[in-house]
Amino acid sequence: MITLILIVAVAALLAAIYLRGVYNEAYWKKRGVKFYQKSRALGIFFEFFKGDRSVLEHIEDIYCEFRNEPAVGVGSLFSPNLIVTDPTNVQHLTTVDFNSFMDRSIAPNSRDTLSNSLIFITGAKWKLIRQSMTPLFTSSKLKSMYYIMDKSAKDFVPYIKTNPKLKKGNAFNTLCTFCSAAMGAAVFGVTTESVFDSPFLKMAQKAGVTTFWQNLKFVISISSSFITRLFNVKLAAEHEAFFIGAIKQIIMERKKSNVKRHDFGDLCVALQEKGVLRDNETGLEIKPTDEILSAQAFFFFNAGVEPTATTIFNFFVLVGQHPEVQERLHREVDEAFKKSQGNLTFDIISDMEYLEMVLNESMRIYPAIGFFGRMCVKNTTLPVGNIKIDKGTTIFLPLFALQHDERYYPEPEVFKPERFSKENKDPIIDKTFMPFGKGNRMCIGQRFATVQAKAGIVHLMRHFKVNTVQISGKKIGFQKHLFAARLKNVDLEFIDR
Ligand code: HEM
Ligand SMILES: *[C@@H]1O[C@H](CO)[C@@H](O)[C@H](O)[C@H]1NC(C)=O
Ligand SMILES: *[C@@H]1O[C@H](CO)[C@@H](O)[C@H](O)[C@H]1NC(C)=O
Ligand SMILES: *[C@@H]1O[C@H](CO)[C@@H](O)[C@H](O)[C@H]1NC(C)=O
Ligand SMILES: *[C@@H]1O[C@H](CO)[C@@H](O)[C@H](O)[C@H]1NC(C)=O
């Protein structure tokens, strides 16, 4: 009897999956959109769980097959999913028609305290919190915070020199240590000594590890807000007590002291003293509680560690493979130190042209994040292909694939910083280069992360030469990751200059 029920249940499930696939295909056909035939119901995340490749590689394959189409439908169990390939459509939905695509593809669970961060929240609430956090990321703020990053980077050099085992192997972890110290200082305030070994580093490392369960939780959150709420799926529950406690402590201490540090702690105190955050347009009011501010800090902290360390790591992998680039960078770095008598300022580091070109080209070839998403929040149309998009459609933007398309970047696999020189820069770059996303919802920490990465890079380059160490016989590839583009089969060696 039980066997029979089981057989019927499995058969019903398979039939439902099959029918869903048929429905998906018909759905996109009706709209004149080509449909990707693999996993017609379960979609790219199913492919991801099955195999050992990262999501960005699956999206890259689909992109290559359909790049002459303006967009391509892919399988999904719940809402329709679309990968948008055409740069004009990308521009349209991230910028021109932003109001129709203002949410991200992930549905947050409001009971998951630390997930109530800018990256996940939606609608009017997102707009208000984004406005409130923006003052932390202006150029002038960055300029006054620069000393924090510079100090962490400067202190990092003797830290490596006195721990010789850090010079070869496991470079990604070493770079995470630097980023975590810099973020710790920026979020929690500087101390006289940079802290390279803290509970926050362990937390960031743990938050960055992708286990099957962590991936599953993310995929559920992407797939269905209903199931996310029903099962109370939490993305960061294990860090709640520790992190919120730490932020509460800082805010309390800052309120007592009068020292201005221009960091996140100061911003928190200023927001709480104002009372409520208010959006004049919608009338929405949010009280900046310790919990809400903790959620923002939690995401800032994690974004400042993993993706930023990935960016520095990938930069050095490419620089280590190109001695002529490394030599020219060394010259630029040495000159900057000489000119500033060893005290690099925000302005000097921002003016290092070659550094910026190399960094951008390395983020083109190996961006830290492989794709990003949007959720359609009202019925609308994409201009190229005149594609009708219904409210509830999840959109994937294939940033890695766009940055590797030879129609926009001739010889896309060749590392050529000159692509980003003033003389050569092709206008198509503005439409297709997006390591930090695009439009109103792009990375709020773009400049912050860039400056932090540059600070780390110049101090390391001042003292070391970098060798790229490839695991013999194996190709450099990507680790199995949902969002991140972490390299495998490659490491770094720092050699004293
Ligand atoms: C090199 C390091 C980083 C990379 C590659 C990166 C990349 C990205 C990308 C691709 C997005 C999605 C953008 C979009 O949907 O258009 C994003 C969003 C975001 N990033 Fe970053 N990020 C980095 C560092 C940081 C840092 C250091 C912070 C904070 C201090 C930060 C804060 C955020 C926030 C808050 C969002 C969500 C913005 C919103 O939805 O309004 N990121 N980032
Ligand atoms: C919103 O209204 C308040 C009070 O009327 C005003 O002080 C504030 O500047 C306004 N904010 C914006 C962003 O317009
Ligand atoms: C470095 O330059 C900055 C900005 O000009 C200045 O505020 C700081 O005191 C200088 N630091 C040292 C150690 O000279
Ligand atoms: C959006 O479009 C779908 C079908 O394309 C339709 O069923 C629905 O009523 C529309 N919603 C609104 C608010 O117009
Ligand atoms: C490098 O990329 C950033 C965006 O990440 C852009 O703002 C900047 O202008 C680029 N620099 C050059 C030299 O192209």
Kindly report, residue by residue over 187-220, the tens digit of the pLDDT: 777 666 667 666 667 766 666 666 777 777 777 7
Estimate the crossing angle of helix 123-133 against helix 290-321, to 10 degrees.
70
pLDDT of residue 193: 66
Return the CA Rg of the chain: 23
415-439 per-position pLDDT tens digit: 999 999 999 888 899 999 999 999 9
In the structure, what pLDDT confidence band is assigned to residue 398 with cuts at 50, 70 and 90? very high
In the structure, what pLDDT confidence band is assigned to residue 113 with cuts at 50, 70 and 90? confident
User: 328 vs 264, which has greater pLDDT?
Assistant: 328
Mutate which of 376, 379, 381, 382 for ligand 4 pocket (most atoms within 8 A of beta carbon): 379
pLDDT of residue 190: 60
Section 99-108 average pLDDT: 87
Section 443-447 average pLDDT: 95
List beta partners, residue 489. Answer: none
Q: How many CB atoms lie within 10 A of CB 405?
A: 18
Question: How much distance in Å is there from the Cα of 126 to the middle of ligand 2?
Answer: 18
Are residues 205 and 176 in contact, defined by beta-carbon separation less than 8 angstroms?
yes
Q: Which two tokens stand for residue 56?
A: 């960005």
Mutate which of 103, 399, 432, 436 for ligand 1 pocket (most atoms within 8 A of beta carbon): 436
Using left for φ > 0, alpha for ψ between -120 and 50, and beta otherwise, residue 304 falls in: alpha
Q: What's the CA gap between 471 and 207, in Å, rounded?
A: 27
Q: Which two tokens stand for residue 30?
A: 């009706």
142-191 per-position pLDDT tens digit: 898 898 889 999 999 999 999 989 999 899 999 999 998 888 888 777 66
In the chain, % of residues over pLDDT 70: 96
pLDDT of residue 194: 66
Mutate which of 28, 391, 393 for ligand 4 pocket (most atoms within 8 A of beta carbon): 391
User: 53 vs 2, which has greater pLDDT?
Assistant: 53
User: 304 vs 467, which has greater pLDDT?
Assistant: 467
Q: Which atom of ligand 5 is nearest to the CA of 436?
A: 5
Are residues 106 and 400 in contact, defined by beta-carbon separation less than 8 angstroms?
no
Q: Which atom of ligand 5 is nearest to the CA of 425?
A: 14
* 390 in contact with ligand 4, CB cutoff 6 A: yes
- Which residue has tokens 């406690």? 245
Residues 6+ apart with CB under 8 A from 75: 21, 24, 36, 38, 39, 40, 41, 42, 43, 44, 46, 81
Q: What's the CA gap between 337 and 150, in Å, rounded?
A: 13
Section 67-90 average pLDDT: 95
Q: Which atom of ligand 1 is nearest to the CA of 399?
A: 10
pLDDT of residue 54: 93
On the question of pLDDT at 470 being above 70, the answer is yes
Beta strand pairing call for 81-84 and 394-397 = parallel
In the structure, what pLDDT confidence band is assigned to residue 223 with cuts at 50, 70 and 90? confident
Section 125-152 average pLDDT: 90
Q: Is the dihedral of CA 50, 55, 56, 62 positive or negative?
A: positive
The closest of 209, 220, 226 to 45, measured between CA atoms, is 220
On the question of pLDDT at 408 being above 90, the answer is yes
Q: What's the CA gap between 268 and 253, in Å, rounded?
A: 12
On the question of pLDDT at 400 being above 90, the answer is yes
Give the domain extent around 340: 2-496
CATH number at residue 392: 1.10.630.10
pLDDT of residue 192: 60
Mutate which of 332, 356, 416, 447 for ligand 5 pocket (most atoms within 8 A of beta carbon): 356
Beta strand pairing call for 477-478 and 380-382 = unpaired
Please list, residue by residue across 366-395, b when 16 or more beta carbons sit within 10 angstroms of its beta carbon and e when fewer do: bbbbbbbbbbbbeebebebbebebeeebbb
Q: Which two tokens stand for residue 225?
A: 């807000």
* 372 in contact with ligand 1, CB cutoff 6 A: yes
Q: How many CB atoms lie within 10 A of CB 212?
A: 8
Q: What's the CA gap between 461 and 173, in Å, rounded?
A: 18
Q: What's the CA gap between 278 and 316, in Å, rounded?
A: 44
Going by CA atoms, what residue is nearest to atom 10 of ligand 3? 343
On the question of pLDDT at 476 being above 90, the answer is yes
Q: For every residue of 188-208, which 3-state class applies, written as one string?
A: HCCCCCCCCCCHHHHHHHHHH
pLDDT of residue 209: 63
On the question of pLDDT at 20 being above 80, the answer is yes
Q: Is the pTM of this model over 0.85?
A: yes
pLDDT of residue 191: 65
Question: How much distance in Å is there from the Cα of 79 to the middle of ligand 4?
Answer: 14
Output the average pLDDT for the chain. 90
In the structure, what pLDDT confidence band is assigned to residue 311 with cuts at 50, 70 and 90? very high
pLDDT of residue 50: 84
Question: How much distance in Å is there from the Cα of 13 to the middle of ligand 4?
Answer: 28
Q: Distance between the two ends of the chain, CA-based, in angstroms?
A: 75
User: 207 vs 105, which has greater pLDDT?
Assistant: 105
Q: Which ligand is nearest to the CA of 342?
A: 3
22-65 per-position pLDDT tens digit: 999 999 999 999 999 998 988 888 888 888 899 999 999 999 99
Question: How much distance in Å is there from the Cα of 380 to the middle of ligand 4?
Answer: 9
- Phi, psi values for residue 372, rounded to 5°: -140, 170
Number of domains composing the chain: 1
pLDDT of residue 352: 97
Q: Which atom of ligand 5 is nearest to the CA of 422?
A: 13
Q: Which ligand is nearest to the CA of 151?
A: 3
The closest of 157, 162, 190 to 456, measured between CA atoms, is 157
Q: Which atom of ligand 4 is nearest to the CA of 391?
A: 1
- Total residue length of the chain: 497
The closest of 376, 479, 321 to 71, measured between CA atoms, is 376
* 345 in contact with ligand 3, CB cutoff 6 A: yes
Amino acid of residue 309: A
Q: What's the CA gap between 250 and 126, in Å, rounded?
A: 24
In the chain, % of residues over pLDDT 90: 61
User: 317 vs 1, which has greater pLDDT?
Assistant: 317
Q: Which two tokens stand for residue 61?
A: 């394959």
* 173 in contact with ligand 4, CB cutoff 6 A: no
pLDDT of residue 228: 76
Q: How many CB atoms lie within 10 A of CB 415?
A: 18
Question: How much distance in Å is there from the Cα of 154 to the middle of ligand 3?
Answer: 13
